[in-house]
Amino acid sequence: MLNQSGRSDHSYPTSPKNSQRLATGKVLLSIAVASILSSTAVAAESDEMVTQAASEQEAVPTATLDTIVVRAAREELEQAAGLSIISEEAIEKASLSNDISEIVRKMPGVNLSGSSTSGQRGNQRQIDLRGMGPNNTLILIDGRPVTSRNSSRPSRGGEQDTRGDSQWVPPSAIESIEVLRGPAAARYGSGSMGGVVNIITKRPTETEFSVSGHYEAPESDLEGSSWRTNVNMAGALTDKLSSRTTLGYHDSEADDPSINAAEALDDSVAAGTEGVENIDARQVFEYAMDAMNTVGFEVNYSRQENRWAGDSLFQSVNQNLLDELEGETTSKMQRYGAAITHRGEYDDASSNSFIEYTRTVNERLGEGSAGGGEGQIQIPDDGEEFEWTEATYDTLNAKSEWDIYFDRHTLTAGAEFRGEKLDNPVVSDLAFADGFDFGDVETDPDKRDPTSDAYLIGAYLEDNYEITPDWYITPGLRFDYHSEAGSNWSPSINSTWHFSPDWSVKGGVSRAFKAPSLYQLDPNYIYYTGGNGCPSWVPEEEQGCHVLGNPDLENETSWNKELTFTYDDGTGLNAGLTYYHNAYDNRIGAGVDRVALDTATGRSIFVWENQGEAVIEGLEGFVKVPVTDTVSWSSNITGILRSERKDNGEPLSLIPKFTVNTGVDWDITPRWNANADVSYYGTIEAPTISATTGDDSDDPLLDREPYAIANVSTRYDLTKDITVGAGVKNLFDTGVYREGTATNAGARTFNEPGRTYVFDVSVDF
């Protein structure tokens, strides 16, 4: 569950200059491991199991339910205004292709966007909470952080060639998804400034043997079809030992490279959406030591391989490459790991602890890493084969969290350790002219260390206090130390007042942060452009620009505030309205202010830098109405009142000014269900300044005009063990096409799939 979650990215500092950090890291890791072991020892002294009662919530794709009631840490989340829960039933009805972002985007405060406003990887959109950008959305699986996207290098414009971390778990293996936005998310540490998405998988104790299949057939011949199958097996092996096995396979074809030809602004056609093959395998064991203690062990493996559709960082589709590589695999991402967990339930306390190791291997065909060829697959010489490159990203996470119960309040205390290590020699092979001397950069590529590493340790306290039966207050304080960016304090306070039987008001303020990435910190992460990627003010004789990693970067920070009014009359009718304001500081980006000249060549030198302040504020509203005993209607709205960097007035991410999701769910009979929903996306305003050079755009600004997408589906239980379903996505075939990158196409940088027919079947044995 969300508050029982741990997160820590962790690796071993290995370079000589970090020997002291290595020693410190080992000590901190030892403390974390000892904490996990101690929770088992303390548990053995208790004789009774603490029982918990939770009010079950139902959710349809467009619904959000803001309260859950479970004693201890879950009560603290009850005070969070920005909490949405997506149930297993809602996930099944949504008929997801494979990626949970398809349903999470329909929650209030959620949109999809690229890693930056450049639109350079326009169809690689990911979950973006409250417009803070995907990199400020922390993805968790069973409370443990997932950061495999950090293995993909950021371009000068901040874009990454990654689908994010939202499709490592097959939909059929998910029990629920929790989406937490706003001040309460600050307790989860680095990366949660926008919020947290926690994917909760089904428990081993739930007996199951099921096989499911899903197929999507697009109406257009230019779009790729998609299918997946999943197998889930779970249940008790003995009276104390349970097991769950999850197997998943998903394959989607790439769009035809000509899908956007009719929308091309010039001779250069922007690529459509690439396909992907997913393979997932997960094995979990849980052992109930006694009535109070449960230990678990998990191993998992996932692989994602793309089906190339012609995409490159600067949009141009190379016909020679298409002739050889269209529909082929040009990048592979493999993620595997192991975790040990412990949960304890005692008379006056409960605990949740884990330690987890993961490795992500990011392989791709060799690409240019500088200038106009950046992000474009390199064509080999005649007679040569395409060359594969590989980056390896390791994390080690450990966390222990305790809830201690008192008569009128619950104290939560936790500590976590994250470490990360990156081995990526690809971006450090640029040679400098003799005489180059700047910072910690090695002139000779052969002398550069291809590895970089960092660790973070955090500790926090929260107290959920009942001042009166109708008034709760939750103060909190978190401290983090990052080995490169230094220390950070994150205070928070949330409060809820039920000022009438049906009405309540909730408010919160918190400080959140995000530590710099290893690429941004590494002085040997080197970008070079011959001139077109330089800011226009750079004199011609000083063009040819280097952008270097910066080990002196500071943490990004934000002050998050929100105020919510909610109504719930106990009959199923509930509604709420939230205002939020995030003040963002120290945002990290590739520099546009020159820091030095290369003394050997006269070229300009820039570094990744902390770029000052930004503000984002908006509104979130939701309503759920039980129209009849069998029909319910749910709607939510997200409005962006302001999204602005104070240094240049640009938005933080390319998302609609407002989004409306509305849907009707109808249980026609106990065995037959139907639902329909519509998502309306308002105008997406075009950026006016190049994310690459910082210059004003010379091209016409092209906003993305409003559009709506409607979906209908139905499910029928043929027997108690067999369920079939069918539906149509994008019922009215709304056409949304990519016209280029932000440089020449403004906000028209992505595709939405056209009309698609969906078929589902699931069998329980």
- Rounded-to-10 torsion of CA 483, 487, 493, 494: -20
Q: Any idea which architecture 69-764 has in CATH?
A: Beta Barrel (2.40)
Q: What is the pLDDT of residues 169-228, one digit of tens each?
A: 999 999 999 999 988 888 899 999 999 999 999 999 999 999 999 999 999 999 999 999
Q: Give the other-Cβ count within 10 Å of 179's Cβ.
A: 25
Helix (H, G, I), strand (E, B) or coil at 357: strand
pLDDT at 328 over 50: yes
Average pLDDT score over the chain: 88
pLDDT at position 80: 59
Phi, psi of 291 (to 5 degrees): -70, -15
Do residues 211 and 763 touch, judged by C-beta distance below 8 A?
yes
Query: What element of type H or E holds 669?
Result: strand 658-669
DSSP type of residue 267: S
Please, which residues bridge with residue 577 across strands?
A: 565, 621
pLDDT at position 447: 85
Residue (of 159, 161, 248) closest to 202 by Cα position: 248
pLDDT at 657 over 90: yes
Strands (E), 105-240: 110-113, 126-129, 137-141, 144-145, 174-181, 195-201, 208-218, 226-236
Q: Residue 289 contacts by C-beta under 8 Å, 6 or more apart in sequence?
A: 40, 43, 44, 240, 295
pLDDT at 65 over 50: no
pLDDT at position 400: 98
pLDDT at 362 over 80: yes
Q: What is the pLDDT of residues 721-740, one digit of tens each?
A: 999 999 999 999 999 999 98
Do residues 723 and 762 touch, judged by C-beta distance below 8 A?
yes
Q: What is the pLDDT of residues 491-511, one digit of tens each?
A: 999 999 999 999 999 999 999
pLDDT at position 427: 74
CA angle 87, 88, 93 (to 5 degrees): 100
The residue to which tokens 């020699």 are assigned: 425
Q: Residue 128 contacts by C-beta under 8 Å, 6 or more apart in sequence?
A: 110, 111, 112, 113, 134, 137, 194, 653, 655
User: Which has the higher per-residue pLDDT, 245 or 381?
Assistant: 245
Taking the alpha carbons at both ends of the chain, their separation in whole angstroms is 28
**Percent of the chain surpassing pLDDT 90:** 70
pLDDT at position 7: 34
**Mean pLDDT to the nearest integer, 232-249:** 97
Helix (H, G, I), strand (E, B) or coil at 326: coil
Q: What residue type is assigned to position 15 of the chain?
A: S
pLDDT at 37 over 80: no
pLDDT at 461 over 60: yes
Q: Is this prediction's pTM over 0.85?
A: yes
pLDDT band, residue 675 (cuts 50/70/90): very high
Q: What residue type is assigned to position 439 of the chain?
A: G
pLDDT at 543 over 60: yes
Residue (of 194, 233, 174) closest to 556 by Cα position: 194
pLDDT at 12 over 50: no
pLDDT at 431 over 90: no
What would you report as the CA-atom Rg of the chain, rounded to the nearest whole angstrom? Answer: 25
Helix (H, G, I), strand (E, B) or coil at 498: coil
DSSP 407-422: SSEEEEEEEEEEEEEE
pLDDT band, residue 39 (cuts 50/70/90): very low
pLDDT at position 463: 94
DSSP 173-193: GEEEEEEEESGGGGGG-TT-S
DSSP-derived pairing of the beta strands 604-610 and 545-548: parallel
pLDDT at position 625: 97
Do residues 206 and 495 touch, judged by C-beta distance below 8 A?
no
pLDDT at 67 over 60: no
**Mean pLDDT to the nearest integer, 31-41:** 41
Buried-state track 265-285, b at ≥16 Cβ within 10 A, e below 16: beeebbbbbbbbbbebbbbbb
Q: What is the pLDDT of residues 299-326, one digit of tens each?
A: 999 999 999 999 988 867 788 889 899 9
Least confident of 36-50, 461-475, 609-623: 36-50
pLDDT at position 47: 37
Please state the separation of Cα 313 from the chain's center in Å. Answer: 21
- CA 83, 87, 90, 94 torsion: positive or negative? positive
User: Which has the higher per-residue pLDDT, 600 or 630?
Assistant: 630
CA atoms within 13 A on the CB side of 374: 26
pLDDT at position 45: 39
pLDDT at 743 over 50: yes
What tokens appear for 472 in the block?
């709760």
- Rounded-to-10 torsion of CA 693, 698, 700, 701: 30
pLDDT at 9 over 60: no
pLDDT band, residue 699 (cuts 50/70/90): low
pLDDT at 32 over 80: no
pLDDT at position 373: 81
Phi, psi of 609 (to 5 degrees): -145, 160
